[in-house]
A and B are shown apart, each in its own frame.
Chain A
Amino acid sequence: TTVTGTRGRSAAVAIAALVIAAGIPLWWKTTETYRAWLPAARISELEALQLELRVEVEVVFARGTLSPEQQKKVPASRITYESCCKSKSLCLVEADHALHTLTETSCGSVVIYIIPEASALLPQDMRVYVGRSRTALLRSQVASVVGAGLPEVLAALDPQMEQVLQTMSFNHQDVTAALTDRLRPGLSTRDSLADSMRAFKSSPGYEITFSLLNPDPKHHQLHWDVEAALDAYIYPLLHKMAPVANFSVDSQILYYAVLGVNPRYDASASAYTLSADSLAHVINPVEARLGSNAASSNPVLNFLLYVPDSLHSPLIIRNDQKQEVASNAFHSPRWGGIMVYNVDGAYGNDTQFPVDIAIDMSRVMGVFLSQLRLMLGFQQTGAPPGFVLEAAGREGVAEWELDRLLWSRSVENVATASASITSLAQLLDQIANIVINDNIAQQVASAVTALQAAVAELEAGNLALALEHSREAISASERAFFDPSLLHLLYFPDDQKFAIYIPLFLPMCVPILLSLLKIFREVQQHRAEKRAKRD
């Protein structure tokens, strides 16, 4: 029996050794979830991210602003300015245009021209003029500053320059509004909250739809040359916004589409009126009928042109104070705008219906363009006292306004991307059995790299590059966060795990353990006998 006994014992020990040495590691390895490596250290750095925004400002002193001693101390400024502004009757816009051609301003930088106090270029009570490009004219008397070195001169100009920069680039409210995601709630002011509610969040693309609503085709046959109007008025703005997002524009005409609200007839104005309270209920019934060409998940902006039917013409919109609204249009935050266009003036009572009516697209597009600017994030900046802000006009948007938007978008993108990455890392940490595929790890790594590049560019003041990197960062982080493979239906409580493994392993392990125990006891017994024999 000893031979079989030893054979049996060695067999049992060998099996046990195999199970423990090879089986358990093999089982562990094969049931492991594949988790690609994530740059955890860099991600944790992102949580304490400090943003530094730098604006390049070029200050040009015109002749007459600096006293001769100051001129000697200060490095020579350019003289060519005077050649274009000889005539006194030069108007402000032309001066601005002429100045714009002198300098090449890069995206995000600002040029401030200091002109003498007595200059006739600005009206008497205005101190600052902000043009369509990135230049500003500041009227100031620097020659009277004591101590004519450069630092003193700049220190004297500092408060005014800061005001100019806060209007043209960014101020505290803008940045906190862009960072609302990561700030404690209640920190942003009401006005900036209104602006952030109105404008769409940063998105890789937007879909814009222009619709003409004709509830009365029997009487009105409407012609709108929307393609030409878009080419002339809207596309310039969208081309300028190309670094920010992609746009896809389409248009449609809806017949027999009515507003959901009955307008009231006002005899004093001999027109039908829509009060401000009823405007909120206009949009929903119309929206149900609007088709959408959108194939992507991008936000959709709708711009509706409603031509009232002949029974309810003219239709005017009244605001809260019961006054007529000049534009006859209203907009809804993050949705779009509706304009009411009255055509009753184009025909008399005895014309033969249907009447052909051509819609004045420039008036319509003027309203839609301003609504579009609001929706895209160009705020209605109230000019500080003493400032003159040149209106954007046909180009749609001034370059400094675009820069403002780029600053806030870059900051918003950086904040959102870093929030996504950190929360994704936290999620993946918490749930040990989510599979992290290689593509997710790659997206995360590229997002982190782009984020760090964006922050570096913001510090250096290169706004265009910073925006590009921030867009890369946000698209990579969104793709990583919303990857379909990250769904964890894997809420396995521990007792369920035991319930799975015990029926598999227990029947196998019981004989092994029992035989090991038996061997151990036999060995002990044997040793005890040996000891007893020796004694």
Chain B
Amino acid sequence: MPNIIAVVCASYGLAQSVCDGEDLPARAERFFRSDHTNNWAVLVCTSRFWFNYRHVANTLSVYRSVKRLGIPDSHIVLMLADDMACNHRNPKPATVFSHKNMELNVYGDDVEVDYRGYEVTVENFLRVLTGRLPPSTPRSKRLLSDDHSNILIYLTGHGGNGFLKFQDSEEISNVELADAFEQMWQKRRYNELLFIIDTCQGASMYERFYSPNLMALASSQVGEDSLSHQPDLAIGVHLMDRYTFYLLEFLEDIHPASQANMNDLFKVCPKSQCVSTPGHRTDLFQRDPGSVLITDFFGSVRKVEITMETINLTVPGIPLERFGGEPHTETALAYVDQLPVAQIIHQKPKQKDWHPPDGFILGLWTLILLVFFRTYGIKHLKHIF
């Protein structure tokens, strides 16, 4: 079979292609204000012990805002280094308050903590960011972002010039963090990334960033300490840090359709309120901060398109069926008997084995006997032996 094969060869060099733009309909314009299709949040509290209550409260208040604005739990990686709500020193168990007089309980009833307690380590944090997790890690512990994800990363704890302390035993340096973000960029694991840090000397942590599309905010400059907001006399510890307190106040006014932009966020907590000077870094970010909405990072506003085309699969002429009065011959469903209550109620009490009295009781008896004989004289001892 003779063929006339016309060969069409198209060569594409991978680094040089020039394309000219096209006209944009208005709908496409709105579609493209931001390039992201989904949102992720990684919220980390790095310090443990009861007196660091405020760090857990910081993280939980950001978690609450982010959930309220629409990011689902499946897209939030929450790492809390200690459990304050069920801490035995908590006078109000199952609550974490962010405001004195216990106005706002940020713990709520649907908190989903992904990394808890001693799982919050530098290694796990870097593994979550870079994606190098062991294959057995469940989905809820992974950051499954893609090249159109906007990620919010919030870190809080105790820090210093160029490092952040994890769990009182290890630290992450700003170079490691910058390298981790570069790894994320190499694999295009984010579209844009907002990094917020509320620690002492927080601005040092974003000094070393060098990957594109990063915006960073910190609660204090190098050489300054971030201060806590106010103690609660009933709970006995400081409840929040100043920067996150005013950040939470700002975020409570944001709703999913809000048009507030990043310039408003930069103004949160000026020096008069915060005592430290908050800083921000936008030189690596491509868009102008004034055109970046708060909900681009804190919320999850989905891009939606109307489905115009459908495929015609129906065979014409068959109307919609109605089942009407067909008798259902289904067997009645019942729950399997899970708790044999009848057996438990009529059960005889189990015979408990006899154990000899333990040390405490023995010691107490000995003490009483000794006191008796000391008081009344040793001659009574012969009545015993």
| A interface list, Cβ under 8 A from B | 48-59, 74-78, 150, 154, 161-162, 165, 169-170, 172-173, 175-176, 179-185, 187-191, 193-194, 197-198, 201, 223, 233, 276, 279-284, 287-288, 292, 294-295, 297, 299, 317, 319-320, 325-327, 329-335, 337, 339, 345-347, 356-358, 360, 362-363, 365-367, 369-371, 380, 391-394, 396, 411, 415, 419-420, 423, 427, 481-484, 486-487, 489, 491
Contacts and interface: CB of A to CB of B under 8 A. Distances in A.
A335 B37 contact: yes
Contacts of A415: 14
A383 B308 CA distance: 16
Given A317-B306, A391-B311, A51 B12 contact: yes
Given A173-B19, A190-B21, A370-B307, A482 B132 contact: yes
B312 interface: yes
Contacts of B18: 187
Contacts of B148: 197, 333-334
B22 A78 contact: no
A286 to B, nearest CB: 10
A55 to B, nearest CB: 5
A333 B28 CA distance: 13
Nearest to B255: A281
B282 interface: no
A484 B126 CA distance: 11
B308 A327 contact: yes
Contact of A380 (B13, B17, B132, B309): B309
A281 B255 CA distance: 11
Contacts of B8: 54-55, 57, 162, 165, 169
A53 B2 CA distance: 23
Interface stretch (B67-75, B221-229, B334-342): B67-75
A343 B307 CA distance: 20
A51 B307 contact: no
A194 B28 contact: yes
Interface stretch (B95-103, B245-253, B320-328): B320-328
A54 B15 contact: no
Given A190-B28, A326-B310, A392-B311, A332 B305 contact: yes
Contact of B322 (A333, A357, A391): A357
Given A183-B15, A197-B303, 12 more contacts: A51-B14, A52-B9, A57-B7, A329-B310, A333-B305, A358-B323, A365-B313, A366-B314, A370-B311, A371-B307, A391-B311, A420-B186
A365 B14 CA distance: 39
Interface in B20-38: 20-22, 24, 27-28, 31-32, 35, 37-38
A281 B256 contact: yes
Given A53-B12, A279-B304, A367 B323 contact: no
B349 interface: no
A287 B72 contact: yes
A394 B37 CA distance: 30
Nearest to A187: B19
Given A276-B306, A327-B310, A53 B301 contact: no
Contact of B35 (A50, A197, A396): A197
Contacts of A363: 313-314
B186 to A, nearest CB: 4
A371 B127 CA distance: 35
Nearest to A191: B22
A297 B19 contact: no
A346 B322 contact: yes
A367 B307 contact: yes
Interface residues of B, number: 82
Contact of B312 (A183, A330, A366): A366
B21 A50 contact: no
A332 B37 contact: yes
Contacts of B17: 172, 176, 179, 183, 187
Contacts of A326: 308, 310
B69 to A, nearest CB: 9
B304 A320 contact: no
A165 B9 CA distance: 11
Choose among B310, B312, B315, B326 the residue with the greatest number of A CB atoms under 10 Å from its CB: B310
A59 B70 contact: no
B320 A320 contact: no
B146 interface: yes
A423 B187 contact: yes
15 contacts: A50-B11, A50-B14, A52-B10, A54-B8, A59-B4, A179-B12, A180-B147, A194-B31, A332-B37, A362-B315, A363-B313, A391-B312, A394-B313, A423-B187, A491-B176
B13 A77 contact: no
A401 to B, nearest CB: 12
Contacts of A331: 304-305, 307
B381 to A, nearest CB: 64
Contacts of B20: 189
Nearest to B135: A484
Given A182-B15, A369-B313, A357 B306 contact: no
A332 B74 contact: no
B38 to A, nearest CB: 7
A356 B323 contact: yes
Choose among B4, B18, B308 the residue with the greatest number of A CB atoms under 10 Å from its CB: B4
Contact of B19 (A48, A50, A176, A317): A176
Contacts of A198: 305
Contact of B32 (A56, A193, A295, A482): A193
B122 A489 contact: yes
A151 B326 CA distance: 72
| 8 tightest Cβ-Cβ pairs between the two chains A and B | A356-B323, A284-B70, A423-B186, A329-B307, A75-B2, A366-B313, A279-B304, A362-B314
Contacts of B4: 58-59, 74-75, 77, 150, 154
Contacts of A281: 70, 256-257, 301
Contacts of B6: 57, 59, 154, 161
Nearest to B170: A489
B72 A330 contact: no
A346 B10 CA distance: 56
